[in-house]
Amino acid sequence: MTTMATTWILSAQCESRLGSVDVLTRFLKEQHCYITEVSSFDDYRAGQFFIRAAFRPEATGDFDPSAFEADFQERASAFNMTFELTPASKRVKTIIMVSKADHCLNDLLYRHRTGQLPLDIQAIVSNHPDLEPLAQWHGLPYYHFPVTAGTKSSQEAKIRQVIEETEAELVVLARYMQVLSPAMCNLLTGRAINIHHSLLPGFRGARPYHQAYEKGVKMVGATAHYINDDLDEGPIIAQGIEPVDHAHYPEDLVIKGRDIECLTLARAIQLHIERRVFMHSGRTVILKH
């Protein structure tokens, strides 16, 4: 079996045990795979070990990922190790959900169009019609599903249908201003990323930047996290922060906040698609370069 991918990512997790690094790196050597990058972390409090390796098979045309996984499973089982093998070139099927704010969507579409984010955007879903022209300009399907308190269940059923039909692996809430139901959160566990300003929990509700201005905040930021059924408190993937001072009026804080949201969301998506994010006990482990 042949494949066009020349670089692969092997990510794994197991209990902290002697030889947990060796079982992976030795196997790659025996398979004549050259490791181009490796990073690991041992959480001594949780007794969990995490490792991620990027590698390049010496004989690319003969690399059989199915056989590789089957052979490695024999080694990994002795450590109760779970693992995932992914081609580094894989474009992740993605749905983006938005409301009216367009800054994060604009940024993601630009990064997608220029190849900075290897996403395969299947559709844009919104509870408002406002951003449909932007989707049309990029040649992307746009689904407008209005929602009220009485139609939330049926509206989410339509969203689930889009996810299933497109086989989306990732859902990005790019300033989607609706609270997802617990059932929807459970469906999307580990594969839905949300972005919000980091003024929470101190400044909730409408006009948070105006509230922050009145209190004289000296920092503004953004948080990107996986969703769960605890509003805006899912496992954190990335955060960004910038200093501000008395010369920043509410409008200036809003502008700065939008920029940080865009950068932080893009960073979180990049970490996710590069298989650098591990989940354990409700928190994340991020294996960077």
Mean pLDDT of the chain: 92
With left for phi above 0 and alpha for psi between -120 and 50, is residue 282 left, alpha or beta? left
Identify the CA nearest to 168 among candidates 275, 118, 94: 94
Counts for the chain of helices (H) and strands (E), in that order: 8, 13
Say which of 43, 130, 232, 259 is annotated catalytic: 232
- Residue entry with tokens 């604009």: 106
Rounded (5°) CA angle 196-270-239: 35
Length of the chain: 289
Tokens of 157: 């059923």
Rounded CA separation 15/70 (Å): 21
CA atoms within 13 A on the CB side of 265: 27
- pLDDT-derived band at 5 (thresholds 50, 70, 90) equals low
pLDDT digits (tens, 9 = 90+) for 185-214: 999 999 999 999 877 667 777 788 888 888
Instruction: Given CATH 3.40.50.170, say whether it is the number of domain 92-273.
Output: yes
- Residue entry with tokens 């139901």: 181
Is 6 strand, coil or helix?
coil
> Residue 105 carries which side chain, given as an amino acid letter?
L
Superfamily of domain 8-87: ACT domain (3.30.70.260)
* pLDDT score at 211: 86
Q: Where are the domains of the chain?
A: 8-87, 92-273
Residue 62 is among the residues annotated as catalytic for this protein: no
- Across 111-120, 154-163, 191-200, least confident range: 191-200
Which residues lie closer than 8 Å to 55 by C-beta, 6 or more apart? Answer: 7, 8, 10, 28, 33, 34, 35, 36
* pLDDT score at 3: 42
